[in-house]
Chains A and B, each alone.
Chain A
Amino acid sequence: MRIKHAFLTLWAVLVTLPLLWALMSSFKTDAEIFDSPWTPPASPQFDNWSRAWEQASIGQYLFNTVIVVGGSLALTMLLGALTAYCLARYEFPGNRFLYYTLIAGMLFPVFLALVPLFFVVDNLGMLGTYHGLILVYAAYALPFTVFFLHGFFRSLPGAVAEAAFIDGASHAGVFFRVMLPMARPGMVSVGIFNFLGLWNQYLLPRVLNPDPDHYVISQGLAALAVSQGARSDWSGLFAGLVIAILPVLLAYVFFQRQIRAGLTSGALK
């Protein structure tokens, strides 16, 4: 029993210690960071945070991320739900073919598409633009979203939709007012899954978003850490790191059960 708890606690410490250490370091001066990694700051340096936010553009990166992730999430959910619904509830020639072509997108590693994708986006003049990233993010999130929601729409009872049709509702009306609300639990799960996946994207923006003014947070932070210039401002970098972690931590504190359930149910599909 005691060994078991020691083991469980050890892993909890291993998980939290680096995060707490980064939080503490974000309040220290550069000299204090170099002097000893352990000692807490003599007085908390809130200036680190404002420097990271403004000079290191973390605020701008967060803003970019919110636009790109917000836009692509809305687009993915709308298009994914519509596509899954049409494929799950309507018989038409080519239905199966479309479905399998779509979910085949989950089989391929993104690395395979990387080079041609760069030129597709470049030829459309969308490199380094918000709308370019939004469209690409949505396109790559689509296969899983359709796959996940397809099963969901299939399992919904047909009687309610029939009744709505008899009452004179249009196809779009039945989808938006009857079926979509019934699929809410599935939408929430896949929405959480997509949100985290899109928020954490690194490879796609790294290739398709070369404009520093449009960097998303993961990309911007990594660029700061890698560039030698920022090396002289360790405390600011720690503050930037903590700022980048905070939104996700806050979301987790409030929705931790839904988030864990959403992510694991996605894996088992």
Chain B
Amino acid sequence: MRHGKYRFLAGSLIVPLTLYGVFVLSPYLQAFQLAFTNWNGVDSAPVFTGFDNFSKLWDDPLFLAGLRNNGLMLLVVPLAVIVLALALAAGTRGTKVYRVVYFFPQLLSVAIIAVLWQFVYTPNSGLLNGALSALGLDSWRQSWLAEPNLALWCVMAVMIWSSVGFYVVLFSAAMESVPGDIMEAAAIDGAGPVTVFRRITIPLIWESVQVGWIYLGIAALDGFALVQIMTVGPGGPDNSTEVMGLGLYRTAFTFGKFGYASAMGVAIFFLTLSIAVLLLRVTKRERVEMA
């Protein structure tokens, strides 16, 4: 009855596997190879240079600036997003219309978000300085993206602005699955709302929170599109908004140092992987089973 099984399998799998092999798998493997060469895209054969590219990375002020800035994003953005999203998710119990609004930025391309916020931060005609003047805070007006001390924070604010809504929806969906009688029982036992939230809600929705940490941690190592579109240079005043992805992009497609850029890619890969594993371990908790 099931004759032709292998013909069907071969016919179905050949196209997707070829596509995946050519455009995904082979570039990933080639990147590890290129990272050990000084290939510039013009010479016919890449010359093997061992770990040269990787030791150069440690003396490259631009890459180190990127590493530092991505590191700061990693410390600030996930924590801020998760705290804000938890608070907003807890607050919107029963009032769903807020969530509909909060979620919207998630749907916008990061490129569109970058253009929008570049307008908001514009010194003379931007929304932010206009709002400050309207509130009588003229002395707070800044050229936001041109100040080395402020530019990276402005970029991080946009990251937070655009991701909070998604996690509000994610967390509130998880909160809705927490049975109400557990909360009531705790309240009857004399627990205040804050205690209930900390001791009952958070442990019961921890799986979603953990997912949030990992996704946001990985996203904090990117930032390419925002920085490339929003900040001057790009990379900001005094490289204050330089990120690793931007360094890779420029090294490859502006300077044509493809071997060196691949080494940056390998470094980014291992950093991303370590951060994901680290966050997975740090956020690990006993799973609370609901009967």
Stretch of A29-37, A44-52, A181-189 lying at the B interface? A29-37
User: B204 an interface residue at 8 Å Cβ cutoff?
Assistant: no
- In the complex, the answer to whether B107 meets A120 with C-beta atoms within 8 Å is no
Interface residues of A in 192-207 (CB under 8 A from B): 196, 199-203, 206-207
User: A178 an interface residue at 8 Å Cβ cutoff?
Assistant: no
User: B4 an interface residue at 8 Å Cβ cutoff?
Assistant: yes
Instruction: Check A34/B125 contact, CB under 8 A, given A140-B24, A260-B169.
Output: yes
User: Number of contacting residues on A, CB 8 A?
Assistant: 92
User: Number of contacting residues on B, CB 8 A?
Assistant: 94
Contacts of B8 in A (CB 8 A): 86, 170-172
Give which listed residue, A25, A80, A226, A267, contacts B211 with CB less than 8 A. A267
Interface residues of B in 196-243 (CB under 8 A from A): 207-208, 211, 215, 218, 221-222, 224-225, 228-229
Contacts of B266 in A (CB 8 A): 112
Contacts of B26 in A (CB 8 A): 116, 120
User: A160 an interface residue at 8 Å Cβ cutoff?
Assistant: no
Kindly name the residue among A37, A199, A219, A245 whose own CB sees the greatest number of chain B CB atoms within 10 A.
A37
A67 to B109, CA, bound (A): 17
Contacts of B31 in A (CB 8 A): 112-113, 115-116
Contacts of B108 in A (CB 8 A): 200, 245, 248
Q: Which residue of B lies closest to A92 (CB)?
A: B9
User: B211 to chain A: closest CB distance in Å?
Assistant: 6
Please report whether the interface of chain A is mostly helix, strand, loop or mixed according to DSSP: helix
Q: What are 24 A-to-B residue pairs whose CB atoms are below 8 Å?
A: A19-B116, A79-B19, A83-B16, A92-B9, A102-B20, A105-B24, A105-B28, A111-B222, A111-B264, A114-B261, A115-B262, A115-B265, A116-B26, A119-B41, A138-B19, A171-B5, A222-B111, A222-B225, A234-B125, A237-B115, A248-B108, A263-B169, A264-B170, A268-B208
The chain B residues found within 8 Å of chain A, CB to CB, are 1-2, 4-6, 8-9, 12-13, 15-17, 19-20, 22-28, 30-31, 34, 41, 84, 87-88, 91-92, 95, 98-112, 114-120, 124-127, 129-130, 134, 161, 164-166, 169-170, 173, 207-208, 211, 215, 218, 221-222, 224-225, 228-229, 244-245, 248-249, 252-253, 258, 261-262, 264-266, 268-269, 272-273
Beyond A135-B19, A219-B111, 18 additional contacts (C-beta under 8 Å) are: A8-B91, A12-B98, A15-B102, A18-B117, A37-B125, A98-B13, A108-B269, A109-B221, A113-B31, A119-B41, A139-B19, A139-B20, A171-B5, A200-B108, A202-B110, A226-B229, A248-B107, A263-B166
